[in-house]
Structure 1
Amino acid sequence: MVVIEIESGKLRGKLGLDKLNNNFYIFHNVPYAQPPVGSLRFKAPRPVQPWKGIKDATREGSECVSRHLITRKIVGSEDCLNLNVYTPELPQKNRPKPLKPVMFWIHGGIFMTGSNKTDLFGPEFLMAEDVVLVTINYRLGILGFLSLEDTSLGVPGNAGFKDMVMALKWVQKNITKFGGDPNNVTVFGESAGAVAAHLLILSPMTKGLLHKIIAQSACALNTWVGGRRSAKIVAEQLGFSNSDERKLISFLQGVSAVDILKAQIKIDTADFIETDFRFFGAVVEKPSSEEPFLDRRPIDIISSGDYNHLPMMIGYNDREGMAIDQIVPSRARAPFFENMEFSVPLALKVQRGSTLSKQIANEIRLFYFGDVKQTREEHQTQYFDLSTDTCFLRDIYFSVKHHIKTFTKPIYFYKFTLETELNIFKKLQNKNIAGVYHGDELGYIFKTMFTPDITPESPEDLAQKKVIKLWTNFAACGNPTPDSTDYILGVKWKPVDTHNVNYLEIGNPLSMKSNPEPERMAFWEKIFEINPLVSKL
């Protein structure tokens, strides 16, 4: 056991063993904000209050009220604004050492599920490197992303993102106590966590709080990122029909968090196909007395160049779309596959059912499936490629293309093609199609409850070493391959330039290439030329 003192009080931590069987320090369930309960529900987080005595930080804290990512059971509590800190060593007054790069992890889960727990995000791989790791929880679903029209009520939206900002402020105040450098913080995340990382550099709230980002398999321009105002619909699902927002918020603050989650589940399941926007996600906040997390659409911020220009690493797994069966509710899978209008980009602002919408849908069908009647059984790979493009890659690619026009820092793009026993999500879903599943890169960065024993010099060991080296190199200096003679990597990763989307294929071996999925991306660029007035994502 070890005790340290941070700004808000003393913490008792414990020791763990990294991949190389060296000791590191663990501090779990460290509060970074007040519990968002009662009148604080749905509102921006408040700074954590100091405590007396020594707080036990040896056991993991609660995730936000949600359905578990794997078991689908309801878990968590509202008292969830906690983080974990892992560090190879603690500062010693008599032996000062340079502060270490900080890696700040945001979990994915479509803003509906997930947590910072070690069942999926164990620190053992990263602790074998010279970094400090912070993993956070934030509010999910309607609890984290409810927004109201009446700005005087203090619920403009984006509370879950503001939780992340509060956690970054905590890092600035406290991370030196763990040996971390507050002036070298890399935010990294996967899926919804990647969206959050991208939004954090676009937000006016975050200047000086982070210094690099890694966005794995998503970005702020993905079509599923946007939320909408939904308090009335949620309240009606719970039996309250008054449309006055002051009465609505009072009612919703008095209902149990579990009941709110159950209402959210019913609405999301019923509305998946019928509506274009989900109820929880990023919203452009109306002007108010509260500092906004997002004051304009992400594409407008990127195009303006008015954002935090920081080194960026961004990329995708080569067949992300295999996860579509897990994401889309079972009742919606058949129409989602059969009706290509559901793949017409919302950013085109083409009315569903219109002649133009049907024309675009037919072009999509012809490009991906040819002039034949498509069935899931006969065209699974094509369907998964379409899902990869429409849910993930297309908007990541366009995001990079837009950024490069205004960006003053390097952008490192990757395509992940490694397939070993560490690709745990594909194994869990029993997919036997070639390609890397959504989230499969996580098995190379974190130890999980499903991670097999890794034999030294095995394909898993060699691949894991390469991935962790790229990620931690970038965290240390903003360049994933600073030493071209590094025998582990053996490659120089070139950033994107104005002419080419250079990318590193993270496979076996690592190799530099240009312009990922060129035919597919050229197809989508052509689709967006149909209406130049709305062709911006």
Structure 2
Amino acid sequence: MHVPFALTLVTLLKVANAESSVTISTTSGRLEGVEQDGVMSFKGIRFGQPPTGDLRWAPPVTFVSNATQNTTVLGPACVQQFPFAVAALNELLFNNPQDPPAENEDCLFLNVWAPSTNSSNATESLKPVVFWIYGGALAFGTASLPLYDGMSLASNQDIIVVTSNYRTNVFGLPGAPDLPLAENNLGFLDQELALQWVQSNIQQFGGDPNQVTLMGQSAGAVSVAEFVSRHPVDPPFRAAILFSGATPNSAPNPDAFDSFNDFSTAVGCAEPPGPERLACLRSVSAEDIRNYTNGPTSGTFGALIDNVTAFDDNLDRILLDNTARVPQLVGNTQNDGTLFTVGQSNLTEFLDSNGFGGIVSPDTVRSLYPGQNDTNVIADAYRDVVFLCPASLWTQALYNLEFQAFSATNTVNEHISAGYHQSLILILRIGAVFPDLQLFPNAGAFHASELQEVFGTYNVSTAIPNEVTLSKTFQTAIANFIKNPSQSPAPNWPKYVPGNLTQTLARLAYNGNVDTGNFVQAETSNSQDTPCTSLWNLFLE
């Protein structure tokens, strides 16, 4: 019988791309995953016991098992909160609305993508590992998004990719006076437990527990910064990547408990703070809680300063050498503020609503962004206050610590020319703008727009050739840092030295430059910091 060529080709492709099962033993049990195209994937690995019932608002408890676990399907997202004015836009960008992940309070799962041990890329040595922490304002986000699929990174870059859930909003960072202060930042504790799981198990996947790099974006990068702050000795990671989320000093919030108290009353638990109210709240269904936190009267929930998991003096801790001394890659996108200022054009209202009314005049702010209309001034001011200026303060503190140690026996010029020493610091700005990513007005290179390039999860049906090329280029540079964080990750990418005498700010993918040889353009380190040094740092420091 004659078989059509097209059908034969499809059959061959299916054989070439055939999945096979693979099993690995871990502390979570015997994991049954999938091996395909040279990569093993294990999805929905339980690392913590279900944080439900009496474990709601409790520190995570390690899950240990000898049983066989099916790990071929992504686990549910933790319960999400999208209560803000741009909730619909956030869901469009960060919750895959055409097929959103299921949500469940039982959500402490992680995922692993690892090059197959029998693939053509396999080597005898253990592989470096990247541990990804998602963003979402500590209110939403999940490792179960297609955006964060680790297949491309693992396959193309021969590294191991781990992504993990952590509790957010009222479930993960409740701000509850009913709990001990050090047990309020439950999401951070979830992240710590997941990283402990990596340290205990990653060698089973061919990974090196001594070559773990933390990588996070937005609230995920804030989480990475807190990891750096709370692990000054023998950190369980050797490098850190912070996209749009370095965090300088954070002042304690005197109204920290208000949102939780209002929530408690709203769901029918009006007892005074304490064990009785907590017992009442643990009996409320997760669905009812989600309905409230996504409703118009809900407050927001976030990290409390407990000086155990989160600190109010991160810059001082760096300068006192009381943080992890590891290489760091830090930066943000050129238009990090546009997502958060959609539709805003009144600069006076913007300053008033962000606590600057009566302190900073609109004309003063306009003078820092010459030639721009107020819509763009607002977006850039938001970018600078929340992302760019904190990143500059963070990296300058890292540099100052290194300089103090180096200058004891060397001159300034020797320090500048010394190359890459103990703690490499790299700082970047990402300027890539692609037509298929202009999903809202004035978007530009918006907050999180770099992530699909890093993960290689861009839309193949809409991406232009430059976007495809940049993904390969950027992915390789990030992987180079993960593989060897003591060397430059790409041509022309220098080590960061602050000031106006050195061109060590790496501008990435500006003006359509997306190839390995030209996507890094080094500029004067403080070329974009004038609004920070002239104004905003006075508030941040």
TM-score by length of 1: 0.80
The partner residue of 1:90 within 98, 102, 117 is: 117
Please state if 1:306 is matched with 2:322. Answer: yes
Aligned equivalents of 1:206 and 1:146: distance in 2?
Answer: 29
Residue of structure 2 equivalent to 1:358: 358
- Spell out the pairing of 1:483-522 with structure 2 (5 A cutoff): 489-497=490-498, 502-507=504-509, 508=513, 509=518, 510-518=520-528, 521-522=529-530
Please state if 1:428 is matched with 2:468. Answer: no
Aligned equivalents of 2:232 and 2:171: distance in 1?
Answer: 21
Conserved? CA contact 1:212–1:310, under 8 Å? yes
Please state if 1:527 is matched with 2:535. Answer: yes
Aligned equivalents of 1:402 and 1:155: distance in 2?
Answer: 26
Conserved? CA contact 2:454–2:471, under 8 Å? yes
Change (3 A) 1:472 1:222: farther
Aligned equivalents of 2:350 and 2:472: distance in 1?
Answer: 43
Please state if 1:284 is matched with 2:305. Answer: yes
Alpha carbon RMSD of aligned pairs, Å? 3.2
The partner residue of 1:242 within 266, 271, 281 is: 271
Residue of structure 2 equivalent to 1:352: none
The partner residue of 1:469 within 466, 476, 488 is: 476
The partner residue of 2:65 within 50, 55, 63 is: 50
Change (3 A) 1:134 1:468: same
Gaps of 5+ in 1: 18-22, 272-278, 287-291, 346-356, 483-488
Q: Aligned to 2:358, what secondary structure does the other structure show?
A: helix
The partner residue of 2:247 within 206, 209, 220 is: 220
Q: Deviations over 1:216-263 (max 9, x none)?
A: 111223879979234312102213322232222112211112222222
- Spell out the pairing of 1:336-351 with structure 2 (5 A cutoff): 338-344=349-355
1:144 positional shift: 0.3
1:99 positional shift: 0.3
Please state if 1:260 is matched with 2:260. Answer: no
Aligned equivalents of 1:383 and 1:416: distance in 2?
Answer: 19
Aligned equivalents of 2:243 and 2:183: distance in 1?
Answer: 28
Residue of structure 2 equivalent to 1:414: 428
- Spell out the pairing of 1:323-338 with structure 2 (5 A cutoff): 323-325=339-341, 338=349
Residue of structure 2 equivalent to 1:38: 53
Q: Aligned to 2:352, what secondary structure does the other structure show?
A: helix
Q: Deviations over 1:398-441 (max 9, x none)?
A: 222233222561210001112336xx6x4333x356x3111111
1:195 positional shift: 0.8
Change (3 A) 1:414 1:528: closer
Conserved? CA contact 2:78–2:106, under 8 Å? yes
The partner residue of 2:453 within 444, 454, 458 is: 444
Q: Aligned to 2:360, what secondary structure does the other structure show?
A: helix
Conserved? CA contact 1:322–1:384, under 8 Å? yes
Aligned equivalents of 2:461 and 2:64: distance in 1?
Answer: 41
- Spell out the pairing of 1:114-263 with structure 2 (5 A cutoff): 114-127=141-154, 128-149=156-177, 156-204=183-231, 207-221=234-248, 228-229=256-257, 230-263=259-292
Conserved? CA contact 1:344–1:360, under 8 Å? no
Letter paired with 1:340: L
Conserved? CA contact 2:339–2:447, under 8 Å? yes
1:204 positional shift: 4.1
Aligned equivalents of 1:136 and 1:225: distance in 2?
Answer: 28
Aligned equivalents of 1:528 and 1:451: distance in 2?
Answer: 40
Letter paired with 2:468: D
1:503 positional shift: 1.4
Letter paired with 1:476: K
Aligned equivalents of 2:540 and 2:434: distance in 1?
Answer: 38
Aligned equivalents of 1:27 and 1:280: distance in 2?
Answer: 32
Q: Deviations over 1:99-143 (max 9, x none)?
A: 000011111111111111242112233121110000111101110
Q: Aligned to 1:406, what secondary structure does the other structure show?
A: helix
Conserved? CA contact 2:248–2:540, under 8 Å? no
Change (3 A) 1:295 1:198: closer
Q: Deviations over 1:4-50 (max 9, x none)?
A: 11123101101234xxxxx2111000011111111111121111121
Gaps of 5+ in 2: 1-20, 82-90, 403-421
Aligned equivalents of 1:38 and 1:8: distance in 2?
Answer: 21
Conserved? CA contact 2:77–2:141, under 8 Å? yes
Aligned equivalents of 1:224 and 1:387: distance in 2?
Answer: 19
TM-score by length of 2: 0.79
Aligned equivalents of 1:238 and 1:111: distance in 2?
Answer: 22
Q: Deviations over 1:356-398 (max 9, x none)?
A: x514234544425779xx9xxx532222212211222122222
Aligned equivalents of 2:458 and 2:521: distance in 1?
Answer: 31
Conserved? CA contact 1:343–1:390, under 8 Å? no
Aligned equivalents of 1:225 and 1:320: distance in 2?
Answer: 25
1:66 positional shift: 0.9
Aligned equivalents of 1:439 and 1:221: distance in 2?
Answer: 20
Q: Aligned to 1:360, what secondary structure does the other structure show?
A: coil
Conserved? CA contact 1:65–1:74, under 8 Å? no
Residue of structure 1 equivalent to 2:6: none
Letter paired with 1:491: N
> How many corresponding residue pairs?
475
Letter paired with 1:515: S
Letter paired with 2:309: F
Aligned equivalents of 2:153 and 2:434: distance in 1?
Answer: 19
